[in-house]
Amino acid sequence: MAPKQSSKKAAKFYSEDIVRKIGDPARVAMVGRSWHDADDQAIPLNPSDPLELPLKKGEFGITDIEHRTRHIVPESEYELVDRTFRVGDVCKRGIDDVASAVVLNTRCELRLKHAISGEPVEGWVPGNEVENKPSVMLGDYVVCNDWVGQVEEIFDEAIILLNDKDLVRVADMGGRFAVGDRGMDILPATGHAPFTSGTSQCILEVQPSVLAVSWLAVNQWLTPEESANRPRPHQFWTAEDLHELTYVKIRSESVTRVPDRVTFKDPEAYQRYNVTKTQHKGESGRILEVETMVVTESRSTVKIMWQNGTIEEVLGTSVIPYLNVDEYDCWPGDFVRWKNEDETRVAVIQSTNAQSRIAQVMWYGTHPPQIETVSVLELDPHGPSGTETFGVRRGDFVFLHRPGTTNGAQLPAVPRIGELEEWVREPPPMSQPHPSHTHSHSHGHTHSDENGHFHVYSDGQDQAAYDVSLSDAGWRGVMATLGMKLAEEGAAQAQYHAEQLGREKRIVKVQGFKGGEIHWFGEVLNLTTGGLLQVMLPHGETVEVPLERVTLLNNEGLDELAAWAEDNLSMEGGSSYGSDEVMEEVVYPDGQPLQEEEVDGWETEGSGDGDEDMGSAGSWGNDDDDREMSIPGGFIPASRSPPESEPVPAPAPAPTTTTDKEASPPPPPVPGPSTAANVSGGSILDTLDEANSPWHRFEVLSSAPVDHAYYTHKTTSAQPPRSFMTRLTKEYKVLASSLPNTILVRAYEDRSDLLRCLIIGPQNTPYEDAPFVIDWFLDSSFPQTPPQAHFLSWTNGNGRVNPNLYEEGKVCLSILGTWSGDKNESWSAARSSLLQAFVSIQGLVLVKEPWFCEPAYDKLRGTEEGIVNSRLYSEKAYVLSRGFIRRALEIEVGGLETEIEWYYIKQGRLAKSIADARALIAWSEAGEYEAPKEVLKESDPAVGVLSEGAVIMLRRTLDKLDAILKERTKSS
Return left, alpha or beta for 696; rule: phi > 0 is left, psi -120 to 50 is alpha, else beta: beta
- Which of 144, 202, 812, 853 is labelled catalytic? 812
What is the separation, in whole angstroms, between the first and last Cα of the chain? 55
* Rg from Cα positions in the chain: 33
- The rounded Cα 423 to chain-centroid distance in angstroms is 25
Specify whether the CB–CB gap between 96 and 87 falls below 8 A: no
Task: Name the pairing type of β-strands 413-417 and 147-162.
Answer: unpaired
Amino acid at 651: P
Secondary structure letter of residue 622 according to DSSP:
P
Specify whether the CB–CB gap between 143 and 399 falls below 8 A: no
Please say if 812 is a catalytic residue.
Answer: yes
Q: Residue 790: name the closest of 803, 778, 808 by CA.
A: 808
- The rounded Cα 698 to chain-centroid distance in angstroms is 39
Cα dist. 42→420, 504, 529 in Å? 26, 46, 43
SS3 category, 362: strand
What whole-number distance in Å separates Cα of residue 161 and Cα of residue 780? 68
What whole-number distance in Å separates Cα of residue 376 and Cα of residue 98? 13
- The rounded Cα 750 to chain-centroid distance in angstroms is 42
Q: What are phi and psi of 376, to 5 degrees?
A: -65, -20
**DSSP string for 70-96:** EEEEEGGGEEEEE----TT-EEESSTT
Specify whether the CB–CB gap between 768 and 762 falls below 8 A: yes
**DSSP string for 282-351:** -TTS-EEEE--EEEEEEEEEEEEEETTS-EEEEEGGGSEE--S--TT---TT-EEEEE-SS-EEEEEEEE
Amino acid at 290: V
Amino acid at 360: Q
What whole-number distance in Å separates Cα of residue 183 and Cα of residue 624? 77
Q: What are phi and psi of 424, to 5 degrees?
A: -65, -30
Task: Name the pairing type of β-strands 743-748 and 698-701.
Answer: parallel
Q: Residue 840: name the closest of 493, 485, 586 by CA.
A: 586
Q: Residue 278: name the closest of 494, 117, 120, 80 by CA.
A: 117
The number of helix segments (H) and strand segments (E) in the chain equals 11, 43
Specify whether the CB–CB gap between 619 and 643 falls below 8 A: no
Q: Residue 681: name the closest of 608, 569, 771, 578 by CA.
A: 771
Residues taking part in catalysis: 812
